[in-house]
A and B are shown apart, each in its own frame.
Chain A
Amino acid sequence: MLILSCPYCGVACDETELQPGGEAHLTRFGPDASDADFEGYLFRRKNPRGVHFERWRHAYGCGKWFHAARHTVTLEVFGTYPAQVTEPPPDILDAIAAKVPGWEPSS
């Protein structure tokens, strides 16, 4: 069972109280983008075996969107952080680097 702490209200939420929102930190390609960029934005997900950055919504609680960093093999949660960012905060990256040797943030 996945338990994530909502960074807005601090509640330790069960997975079933949350709504999943897919991969975080996507660059949105809008109307003037090329077909390849738009396809990548819509469909191409990294889905690595390992560290994921994800969007979640605290649907049964405060209703806010937030981000979570977790490992899909060990199921370890590295941390959660508010959604008003375009890249993971340094403390989350440090926590991942400490636990997953050799891991590099992909661009």
Chain B
Amino acid sequence: MSDPVTALDGQSITGQITIADAGPTGMVTLRANFASATVMTGLVDVGLVVPDANQIASGDGTTTLWMSPDEVMILCDYDDAEAQAQSLGDALASAHALAINVSDARCVFRLTGQGGAIRDVLAKLSPADLRPSALPVGMVRRTRLAQVPVAFWFSSDTDATLICFRSVGGYVFDLLSKVSEPGSAVGYFG
């Protein structure tokens, strides 16, 4: 079996913030009608908690992101993704639902920085409201970063994760590196 390789292959750069490839990450996308009793019973059986709108639910080694009213994404260890998708598929076999391993479809970035530096850097590229009151820790925001769709969320004030499609991983890395160059700090978020 060949080793998983991410689009950025472990690159990282430090400017105002540190932008690093988070490495191979397991991602399972689940589309289903979460208002359906059949679906919810199946999800209880596998122990998956569906987060509220725009929120993140953390479970046993997994993080579940709310993506849309009928879609969630489960982040897990790269090696567990296939089993995770399989167990979800089995649990929802009687419902109209789809669980699929999309680990290699996206690129995951880890952003670390002090103060409001991460929010400042993201605000240069995205129209999202990045005030801590509008995007608190534990909330996921799907939005646009320059010309491409991304999603990001804060795990703490100094630590954020950003995901984008694999094909634009290099573009997103270049963008983030450019706007976090030393000397270009905005300082709006402190």
Query: Is there an interface contact between B68 and A60, defined as CB atoms closer than 8 Å?
Result: no
Q: Is A61 an interface residue (CB 8 A)?
A: yes
Query: Is there an interface contact between A11 and B54, defined as CB atoms closer than 8 Å?
Result: yes
B143 to chain A: which residues have CB within 8 Å?
A: 17, 60-61
B57: shortest Cβ distance to chain A, in Å?
Answer: 16
Query: Is there an interface contact between B142 and A12, defined as CB atoms closer than 8 Å?
Result: no
Q: Is B53 an interface residue (CB 8 A)?
A: yes
Q: Is A62 an interface residue (CB 8 A)?
A: yes
Query: Is there an interface contact between B144 and A60, defined as CB atoms closer than 8 Å?
Result: yes
Query: Is there an interface contact between A8 and B69, defined as CB atoms closer than 8 Å?
Result: yes
Q: Is B187 an interface residue (CB 8 A)?
A: no
B142 to chain A: which residues have CB within 8 Å?
A: 11, 60-62
Query: Is there an interface contact between B67 and A62, defined as CB atoms closer than 8 Å?
Result: yes
Complex interface bits, A1-31 against B, C-beta within 8 A gives 1, otherwise 0: 0000000111110101100000000000000
Query: Is there an interface contact between B141 and A11, defined as CB atoms closer than 8 Å?
Result: yes
The chain A residue with its CB closest to the CB of B142 is A61
B69 to chain A: which residues have CB within 8 Å?
A: 8-9, 62, 64
B138: shortest Cβ distance to chain A, in Å?
Answer: 15
Complex interface bits, B52-63 against A, C-beta within 8 A gives 1, otherwise 0: 011000000000
Query: Is there an interface contact between A61 and B53, defined as CB atoms closer than 8 Å?
Result: no
Interface residues of A in 55-69 (CB under 8 A from B): 59-64
A1: shortest Cβ distance to chain B, in Å?
Answer: 8
Query: Is there an interface contact between A17 and B144, defined as CB atoms closer than 8 Å?
Result: yes
A64 to B53 Cα, complex, angstroms:
14
Q: Is B132 an interface residue (CB 8 A)?
A: no
The chain A residue with its CB closest to the CB of B135 is A11
Q: Is B149 an interface residue (CB 8 A)?
A: yes
A59 to B127 Cα, complex, angstroms:
14
A64 in complex: contacting residue of B54, B68, B128, B129, CB < 8 Å: B68
A85 to B142 Cα, complex, angstroms:
26
A47: shortest Cβ distance to chain B, in Å?
Answer: 27
Query: Is there an interface contact between A14 and B53, defined as CB atoms closer than 8 Å?
Result: no
B149 to chain A: which residues have CB within 8 Å?
A: 59-60
Q: With A61-B143, A64-B69 given, can you name 11 additional A-B contacts, CB distance below 8 Å?
A: A8-B69, A11-B54, A14-B127, A14-B144, A17-B127, A17-B143, A60-B142, A60-B143, A60-B144, A62-B71, A64-B68
Q: Which residues of B contact A (CB under 8 A)?
A: 53-54, 67-69, 71, 127-129, 134, 141-144, 149
